[in-house]
């Protein structure tokens, strides 16, 4: 009969967890900035400019979401 007497996982200290949290917040803020900038720039275009790009005004947010978050 085989069994494991002890498994030790990777222990992450509080400082590393806090740093990871702050880095996650920074990344989210940067991505949101890309999202807002994309939305604002596309909304500023005329209907004709959007049509030339093949974009309907209703799809601006989806395009910005993909640009910022890759979704």
How many other CB atoms sit within 10 Å of the CB of residue 11?
6
pLDDT at 6: 60
Q: What is the pTM of this model?
A: 0.75
pLDDT at 9 over 90: no
Q: Confidence class of residue 12 from pLDDT cuts 50, 70 and 90?
A: confident
Measure CA 38 to chain center: 13
pLDDT at 10 over 70: no
- Where do the domains of the chain lie? 14-69
Residues 25-47 have pLDDT tens digits of 999 999 999 999 999 999 999 99
How many other CB atoms sit within 10 Å of the CB of residue 62?
12
Q: Give the whole-angstrom CA distance, residue 28 versus residue 49.
A: 30
The dihedral built from the CA positions of residue 49, 54, 57 and 61, taken in this order, carries a sign that is negative
């Amino acid at each position: 009969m085989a069994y494991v007497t002890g498994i030790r996982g990777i222990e992450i200290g509080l400082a590393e967890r806090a740093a990871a949290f702050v880095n996650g917040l920074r990344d989210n803020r940067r991505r949101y900035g890309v999202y807002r900038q994309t939305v604002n720039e596309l909304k500023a275009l005329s209907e004709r400019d959007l049509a030339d790009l093949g974009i309907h005004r209703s799809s601006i947010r989806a395009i910005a979401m993909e640009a910022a978050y890759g979704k």
